[in-house]
Structure 1
């Protein structure tokens, strides 16, 4: 289906080569689309959208809708999507709320059925958002984070790289990279060992995060003291964890913990 005759494409849209555009697809003006994308039936690409190459948009996905905020002025803003992403049925991604700014979606992102990404969010590469998860405005999600079914993420929060958030979790503060956060109220449940191993992190790096867990969540150190201790470990993961905690933590982070089993903390 290179171009179905029922598709509606604005003459002001820029569409690259090798795109498959299915029945009832709508592509508005001021849209730029790269090469080799697939748009399944009834996808809507709203004005201001900027889409890279080799993405797949499933039935009824809507990209670039206006922000859901009461005082929104209809300014020119954007959604920018990288390459190789998958946007399943009924996914919604909204454009930025401020003029000439963008909601940013990285490469290789998967958003499952009915997932929602609100205005001004920034998603890194290879983020996965499962069915019915809702990401509020101005949220930053670092690369390879996994957001499970039905999670709600509060506006202005940050989710760290390779974090895993369990199903139906209510996120109101920042989520630590490399750890599993789950439950309501949200608690740190342990190290995301499976995700770390799949991402190619070494046994040494995973072991360093066990020490980071003790320092950050199992001691009485202040946050500033804990960051200093984290920097003495000197692995990629602990350095990134320290950097994450040093910047943009005005909402704090989910610090309540479940006691890890000895096997999880053993050297």
Structure 2
């Protein structure tokens, strides 16, 4: 269904049962899977906010099936030819949220109102980002993370964690883990791994590598948590407890 006042440019690709509501804009650079809903005022596939960008560059935005794009959301296409900004399946992007160029969202991600993702941000599946939060470019957000509203994120956030304020990790997202049906064994190992990484002193990447090598973790969830610290460019958010203790010292 395409509302008469919506704009769908020649070359845009729409799957089965998509809905493009009043005054929404879907550019020729957009590829929408089945059952995507685009609400009024949203722009899917707009040019990236990159000073050196050549508008003739053939780049894209790809939106997974069942994703809902609410009012005035902006999804910018990638900056390099052939590349895409990617939104997974069943995501819910609330009003006025923004995805910069070359972002990648997993499945079942929720962005609350006014969330701001800079370019090249990678967000894992089942993550929730609270209203007004801002994420720095090239940050990685692990799966099933939860970020408080109005947070300022400039470092990588490990999977399964809760973060607030300025890069302050406060604990594991236990409610989210239980809702996903994680086993008691997995949650127990995640707690052990969390303490090994965030309550220790020293380089957080080295702490995670040591825990992975010596901890005898058997669940894939705990191993994914620890393996996350082997990558990235931005450094890692620290626990609120560690930050406070360092400040006191």
Bin for the TM-score computed over the shorter chain: over 0.9
Q: 2:241 aligns with which of 244, 247, 258?
A: 258
Q: Does 1:98 align with 2:80?
A: yes
By how many angstroms is 1:221 displaced?
Answer: 4.9
By how many angstroms is 1:224 displaced?
Answer: 2.2
Q: Map of 1:8-157 to 2, 5 A cutoff?
A: 20-74=1-55, 75-157=57-139
Say which is worse superposed, 237-246 or 50-59, in terms of deviation: 237-246
Say which is worse superposed, 224-233 or 141-150, in terms of deviation: 224-233
Bigger fraction of residues in helix: 2
> Would you say the 8 A contact 1:54–1:83 is kept in 2?
yes
Q: Which runs of 4+ in 1 moved over 3 A?
A: none
Calculate the TM-score normalised by the size of structure 2.
Answer: 0.92
Aligned pairs, how many? Answer: 238
Q: Does 1:241 align with 2:225?
A: yes
Q: Deviations for 1:151-198, whole angstroms, at most 9, x for unmatched residues?
A: 000001100000000010000010111010001x22111110111111
Aligned to 2:169: 188
By how many angstroms is 1:233 displaced?
Answer: 1.6
Tell me, in whole angstroms, the C-alpha distance in 2 between the residues paired with 1:225 and 1:111: 35
User: Secondary structure at 2:96's aligned position in 1?
Assistant: coil
> Would you say the 8 A contact 1:217–1:257 is kept in 2?
no
CA RMSD of aligned residues (A): 1.3
Q: 2:146 aligns with which of 164, 169, 187?
A: 164
Structure 1 residues 118, 102: closer, same or farther in 2, change over 3 A? same
Aligned to 2:181: 200
> Would you say the 8 A contact 1:215–1:221 is kept in 2?
no
Unaligned runs of 5+ in 1: 1-19, 260-267
Tell me, in whole angstroms, the C-alpha distance in 1 between the residues paired with 2:132 and 2:4: 30
Tell me, in whole angstroms, the C-alpha distance in 2 between the residues paired with 1:130 and 1:201: 25
Q: 1:212 aligns with which of 184, 189, 193?
A: 193
Tell me which structure has the larger Cα radius of gyration.
1
> Would you say the 8 A contact 2:212–2:227 is kept in 1?
no
Tell me, in whole angstroms, the C-alpha distance in 2 between the residues paired with 1:236 and 1:182: 26
Q: Deviations for 1:91-144, whole angstroms, at most 9, x for unmatched residues?
A: 110000111110011101110010100100111100110000000001110111
Tell me, in whole angstroms, the C-alpha distance in 1 between the residues paired with 2:162 and 2:228: 16
By how many angstroms is 1:211 displaced?
Answer: 0.6
> Would you say the 8 A contact 1:182–1:189 is kept in 2?
yes
Tell me, in whole angstroms, the C-alpha distance in 2 between the residues paired with 1:180 and 1:163: 6
